[in-house]
């Protein structure tokens, strides 16, 4: 609404200035016509002609203004002028002159035909020229600015709509500190060939690459916040291929009521190129789930745990208990939330390891949480392959300690963060996470409701491929990929955590929730796009090197058990997989067997063999990958 009012005010202001200019042009046209007619000697103009002109000037001005308003002459404020618009303005001026001539005839105004003709010609030229002068002035000021400052950042603007108008006006108002727009792209055929604030609209998205070369573009501004995800993704991919630095406005749902400005522009990220749809959440359901509750987050300093803390804080919890063994990351999220919420949020930072049973029981006894989000885990696949004992101690027994503490101290709901690597696992990390799911599913008779949320890779998480690629690009390459055929599913950390909260709100005992990860992404494509986002060329500026699959890694990841019963929830991005009933006694036997193996200092190979007995779907990566090739 504020933007619309501002646009109306700007148009009204520009229209009034043009109306004032038209009045001056009308007066000037009459004076010049008489001067030309009488050889530039004003004293030789007959008095009766002057009196007739004075008598008719007010009528002429009124008719001109009325006709210009009716014929939309004040819509040509040089936002989009082409040869067609200039022709329309000439026609409007001619029709206005005919209306003025008709009124003069009816009023029996006695002026010669030569004076009428010259008045009309001067008026037409003046009215069109004053509207076109803005472009001339901008071109001159642009050239002068470049000569004076040597600043030649040449910008392509993608989007000649209301957002583009705001960006152009701000750039002109602040002296073009960020550069000069040299061409405009818009998919609307009606705008192509016209001018947008004095800059030509050269075509639609198909012209982006060609125009970037022709106009020697340095930077691209994508200003189409209301466009669909698919359109934004396609346009960003095209811009990314130009090699120009590209910035974009957030989508319209992200901007909300914030004012659009140059400062709103941000670099295009790999998240933009994934083109994922907006997550729609049941805000009331999450609020009822979190508000007024004591919520514990284990692994609170990690990528997922810290984002869970941020999002939980928005729903007015009584207390957030952030538990982590690593004090630095826990301190960071504590300070962030303290700065954001001041005294409005009670955040308790607790240093503890989930492997320490006594310490975990002590923390639960002290804080008595209502809800637990269990995100603490070892998750690095290759590292855990070389340390299966640590994976079992931390992931399996750490989870079991937190589960038992939750039951003992009256936790109402317990949500564990799982992974797609738990589905038909090919590594010890995935196998331990699958066993954790089984632990929770075996406790359907518990007063605490247990559930798991399973999803794939999250962009930007610690140890994920995106930060690794970014660091390799910054170091000049090469960017290393394990296999050119490998694919993964991705979502952003905030998106994953939002869906975890909603799944938690609807969770019932023993359920495994599966998040819709969208379309798979080929890691090779991801590497190429990230290199282009850095303004470099794949295989030319930065090498991409294939190094082979890492220990425990498979070419593809699965999100669903092959024999699972999958049901869509009210949120189309959340599915629930009902599992068969698991015996608590059987799980306890497995835990005792694992514990004995650890006590007996079993070798890595023996521990992996034992896990394969406990998890029937656990197979070697070689066996799985050979079936794909």
Q: Could you confirm whether 247 is annotated as catalytic?
A: no
Going by C-alpha positions, the residue among 405, 409, 514, 408 that lies closest to residue 451 is 514
DSSP strand pairing (487-488 vs 521-522): antiparallel
Integer Cα distance of 457 and 466 in angstroms: 10
**Collapsing DSSP states into helix, strand and coil, what is residue 202?**
strand
Q: How far is it, in rounded angstroms, from Cα 60 to Cα 103? A: 8
Cβ atoms of 552 and 546 closer than 8 Å: no
421-460 CB burial, b ≥16 within 10 A, e <16: bbbbbbbbbbbbbbbbbbbbbbbbebebbbbbbbbbbbbb
Q: Which of 191, 293, 393, 421 is catalytic?
A: 421
CA distance 321 to 271: 30
What's the token pair of residue 529?
């796009």
619 DSSP assignment: -
Q: Is 389 exposed, middle or buried (0-12, 13-18, 19+ CB in 10 A)?
A: middle
Residue 437: which of 497, 383, 396, 475 has the closest Cα?
396
| Short-list 442, 522, 441, CA closest to 487 | 522
What residues does 625 pair with on adjacent strands?
Answer: none
Distance, first Cα to last Cα, the chain = 56
3-state helix, strand, coil in the chain (%, to 5): 55, 15, 30
Whether the CB-CB separation of 139 and 198 falls below 8 Å is answered with: yes
3-state secondary structure at position 429 = helix
Cβ-based neighbours of 130, under 8 Å, separated by 6 or more: 18, 21, 22, 25
For residue 247, report the phi and psi dihedrals to the nearest 5 degrees: -125, 155
Whether the CB-CB separation of 481 and 545 falls below 8 Å is answered with yes
Question: Could you identify the residue written with the tokens 């992996």?
Answer: 608
Which among 466, 424, 329, 459 has a CA at the least distance from the CA of 615? 424
CA 491 to chain centre: 12
Closest residue by Cα to residue 422 from 390, 461, 396 = 396
Phi, psi of 509 (to 5 degrees): -60, 135
Interatomic CA distance for residues 269 and 174, integer angstroms: 27
Nearest to 47 by CA among 118, 110, 94, 117: 110
Burial of residue 103 (CB within 10 Å: 0-12, 13-18, 19+) is middle
**What CA–CA distance (Å, rounded) separates 44 from 82?**
42
Task: Tell me which residues are annotated as active site.
Answer: 421
């Amino acid at each position: 609404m504020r933007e619309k009012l501002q646009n109306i005010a700007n148009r009204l202001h520009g229209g009034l200035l043009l109306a004032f200019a038209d009045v001056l042009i009308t007066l000037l046209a009459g004076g010049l016509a008489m001067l030309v007619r009488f050889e530039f000697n004003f004293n030789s103009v007959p008095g009766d002609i002057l009196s007739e002109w004075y008598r008719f000037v007010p009528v002429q001005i009124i008719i001109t203004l009325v006709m210009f308003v009716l014929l939309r002459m004040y819509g040509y404020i040089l936002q989009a002028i082409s040869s067609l618009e200039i022709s329309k303005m000439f026609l409007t001026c001619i029709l206005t002159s005919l209306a003025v001539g008709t009124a003069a005839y009816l009023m029996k105004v006695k002026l010669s035909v030569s004076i009428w003709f010259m008045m009309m010609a001067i008026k037409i030229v003046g009215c069109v020229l004053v509207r076109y002068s803005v472009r001339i002035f901008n071109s001159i000021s642009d050239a002068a600015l470049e000569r004076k400052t040597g600043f030649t950042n040449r910008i392509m603007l993608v989007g000649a709509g209301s957002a583009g108008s705001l960006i152009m006006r701000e750039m002109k108002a602040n002296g073009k500190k960020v550069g000069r727009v040299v061409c405009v792209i818009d998919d609307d055929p009606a705008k192509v060939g016209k001018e947008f604030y004095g800059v030509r609209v050269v075509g639609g998205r198909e012209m982006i690459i060609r125009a970037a070369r022709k106009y020697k573009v340095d930077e691209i501004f994508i200003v189409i916040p209301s466009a669909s995800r698919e359109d934004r993704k396609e346009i960003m991919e095209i811009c990314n291929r130009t090699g120009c630095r590209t910035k974009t406005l957030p989508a319209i749902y992200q901007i909300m009521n914030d004012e659009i400005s140059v400062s709103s522009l941000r670099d295009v990220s790999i998240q933009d190129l994934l083109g994922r749809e907006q997550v729609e959440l049941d805000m009331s359901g999450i609020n009822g789930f979190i508000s007024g509750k004591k919520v514990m987050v284990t692994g609170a300093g990690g990528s997922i745990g810290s984002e869970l803390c941020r999002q939980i804080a928005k729903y007015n919890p009584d207390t957030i208990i952030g538990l982590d063994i690593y004090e630095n990351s826990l301190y960071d999220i504590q300070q962030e939330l303290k700065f954001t919420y001041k005294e409005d949020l009670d955040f308790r930072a607790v240093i503890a390891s989930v492997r320490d049973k006594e310490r975990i029981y002590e923390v639960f006894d002290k804080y008595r949480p209502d809800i637990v989000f269990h995100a603490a885990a070892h998750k690095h696949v290759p590292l855990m392959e070389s340390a299966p004992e640590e994976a079992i101690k931390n992931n399996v027994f750490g989870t079991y300690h937190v589960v038992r503490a939750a039951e003992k101290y009256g936790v109402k709901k317990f949500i564990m963060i799982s992974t797609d690597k738990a589905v038909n696992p090919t590594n010890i990390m995935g196998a331990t996470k699958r066993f954790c799911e089984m632990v929770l599913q075996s406790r359907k008779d518990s007063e605490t409701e247990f559930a798991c949320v399973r999803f794939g890779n999250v962009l930007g998480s610690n140890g994920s491929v995106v930060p690794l690629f970014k660091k390799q690009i910054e170091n000049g390459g090469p960017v290393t990929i394990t296999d050119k055929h490998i694919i993964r599913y991705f979502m952003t950390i905030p998106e994953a955590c939002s869906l975890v909260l909603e799944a938690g709100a609807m969770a019932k005992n023993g359920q495994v929730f599966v998040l819709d990860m969208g379309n798979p992404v080929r890691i090779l494509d991801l590497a190429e796009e990230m290199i282009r986002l850095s303004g470099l060329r794949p295989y030319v500026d930065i090498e991409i090197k294939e190094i082979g699959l890492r220990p425990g890694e498979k070419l593809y990841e699965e999100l669903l058990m092959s024999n699972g019963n999958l049901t869509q929830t009210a949120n189309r991005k959340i599915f629930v997989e009902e599992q068969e009933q698991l015996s608590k006694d059987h799980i306890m036997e497995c835990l005792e067997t694992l514990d004995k193996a650890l006590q007996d200092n079993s070798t890595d190979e023996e521990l992996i063999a034992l896990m394969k007995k406990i998890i029937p779907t656990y197979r070697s990566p070689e066996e799985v990958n050979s079936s794909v090739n």
